[in-house]
Amino acid sequence: MDVSGFYDVVHRRRDVRGEFTGGVVPTDALRRILGAANAAPSVGLSQPWDFVLIRDVGTRTAFRDHVQAEREIFAGRLDAERARIFARIKVEGVLESSLGVVVTYDPRRGAPAVLGRHAIADAGLYSVCLAIENLWLAATAEGLGVGWVSFYREEFLRKLLDIPHQVRPVAWLCLGPVGTLQATPDLERHGWRHRTPLAQVVHEERFGRSAPR
Amino acid sequence: MDVSGFYDVVHRRRDVRGEFTGGVVPTDALRRILGAANAAPSVGLSQPWDFVLIRDVGTRTAFRDHVQAEREIFAGRLDAERARIFARIKVEGVLESSLGVVVTYDPRRGAPAVLGRHAIADAGLYSVCLAIENLWLAATAEGLGVGWVSFYREEFLRKLLDIPHQVRPVAWLCLGPVGTLQATPDLERHGWRHRTPLAQVVHEERFGRSAPR
């Protein structure tokens, strides 16, 4: 296969807020995207994820209102300089996107003896995130956009979607066609934070030992 | 780009144990793979990950011995039937792979006001897993294999690699050239567990409402 095509997807992928068109997501593309998520690696082959597809405007409006309230809580904790930057940053595209995909974690899948989870309880939660990244990249490959919204309380989302108490909501993903994918992440464009170069996060043999340049 | 080439990577990817050759990982390929990981989405653009590259045989042997001890602990909890299946399953390729990549989570990156983490403390941990999946798929695109080893105690790995107490080890990934990638996951081939079809994990509008077929 074309390796450079793969890296193109990885580097084009963005966390989309403002670029959703609200256009239709073709059924076949959605099936391929969810199929990629379901093909992710998982601890003990437990596949502990579920995907709730939300198109209903009433549900999405209720969630968006909750997110806006959480946005205000976060804004209230910032100093004046950070608050000024944050005011320019859009944190969700819940209504502008075509649908929401809520991804959840069910620790009961494959239990009690989940192979590889006895020493690390969070390993199941990790698996769910691997599925989310597969979904995200697949959507990018299909020419669509994804935005992960995390300004919410898990309990709110659990009630909104009738999620059982044993199941944990992990993400609300906005999904849909986009007018464009920004070349630079929103938070960098708006001066919130700059990307860390690879050399700063690679160590050799022990934590804290830099790689030779 | 070629969308089918992207899905080919997603579906060819395996959690490798027994197929490592121990051959050289080209420096350029390793840089591209780690670059893909570092390009993953992260909450508040915090990029809270680090990558420790481990080639030293002494370090790897110490880790492998620890993993084998944890394997015995898990085996001791299984009933006779499951124990018989588990005995056939290889859980790590620490010494056979070319190198270990330990991925860690540093909650201090971008703190205190990490945009998008105030309501969900685990959001930073989720970001690290997205980077791991980017790494995994990139390695697959490059024709290499990856195996996530999770039979270990975090405290053991922290001490082995001088990881600071605020930093959490998330994964030991075995990386390297492989003779082949199995068409079917090891756990399915050995009868431990079968893959769950997509239709069982997709819901419409509310958790528990199946999609129409």
Number of Cβ within 10 Å of residue B164's Cβ equals 12
CB contact under 8 A, B133 and A133: yes
Residue pLDDT, tens place only, A130-188: 999 999 999 999 999 999 999 999 999 999 999 999 999 999 999 999 999 999 999 99
For A81, the 3-state DSSP assignment is: helix
Please identify every stretch of chain B with a pLDDT value under 70, giving residue numbers as ranges. 1, 211-213
Q: Which residues sit opposite A51 in a β-bridge?
A: A103, B202
pLDDT at B169: 98
Q: How far does chain B reach from its first CA to its final CA, in angstroms?
A: 31
- On chain B, the residues whose CB falls within 8 A of the CB of A32 are 7
Q: Which two tokens stand for residue B25?
A: 């990982």
B136 contacts in A (CB within 8 Å)? 41, 130
ipTM score of complex: 0.97
Per DSSP, which regions of B30-167 are E strands?
A: 49-54, 99-105, 144-149
Q: How far is Cα B195 from Cα B14, in angstroms, rounded to an integer?
A: 13
Q: Which residues lie closer than 8 Å to B79 by C-beta, 6 or more apart?
A: none
Structural contact between residues A153 and A70, judged by C-beta atoms closer than 8 angstroms? yes
Partners of residue A187 in chain B, C-beta under 8 Å: 44-45, 115
CATH architecture entry for A12-201: 3-Layer(aba) Sandwich (3.40)
Q: What is the pLDDT of residue B54?
A: 98
Residue with tokens 């299984």: B78
CB A203 within 8 A of CB A210: yes
Give dist(CA B123, CA B125) in Å, integer: 5
**Pick from A6, A34, A205: which is nearest to B56 by CB?**
A205
Task: Tell me which DSSP letter residue B153 carries.
Answer: -
Q: Over the stretch A88-141, which tens digit does the pLDDT of each residue have? A: 999 999 999 999 999 999 999 999 999 999 999 999 999 999 999 999 999 999
Quick count: other Cβ atoms within 10 Å of Cβ B189?
A: 12
Alpha-carbon distance of A11 to B13, in angstroms, equals 19
Task: Tell me if A36 sits within 8 A of A133, measured CB to CB.
Answer: no
- 3-class DSSP state of B174: strand
DSSP string over A185-212: -HHHHTTS--PPPGGGGEEESSTT-BPP
Q: For B96-124, how does the pLDDT look when each residue is reduced to its tens digit (9 = 90+)?
A: 999 999 999 999 999 999 999 999 999 99
CATH code, residues B14-201 = 3.40.109.10
> For residue A193, what are the CA distances in angstroms to A28, A75, B66, B110?
37, 16, 39, 8
Average pLDDT over residues A4-9: 96
* Closest in A118, A130, A201 to B133, CB measured: A130
Single-letter residue type at B74? F
The pLDDT value recorded for residue A212 is: 63
pLDDT at res. B213: 55
What is the pLDDT, as a whole number, of residue A210?
86
User: What count of CB pairs under 8 Å joins A to B?
Assistant: 276
Give the span between the Cα atoms of B84 and A128, in whole angstroms: 28
Q: Which two tokens stand for residue B148?
A: 């996530």
Environment class of A117 (CB within 10 Å of its CB; exposed 0-12, middle 13-18, buried 19+): buried
Domain segments of chain A: what residues? 12-201
Measured CA to CA, the distance from residue A46 to residue A131 in angstroms comes to 12
pLDDT for res A120: 95
- Are B44 and B114 in contact by the 8 Å Cβ rule? The answer is yes
Q: What does pLDDT average to over chain B?
A: 96
The pLDDT value recorded for residue A2 is: 81
Q: Is the pTM of this model over 0.95?
A: yes
Helix locations, A13-153, DSSP H: 27-38, 57-75, 80-86, 123-141
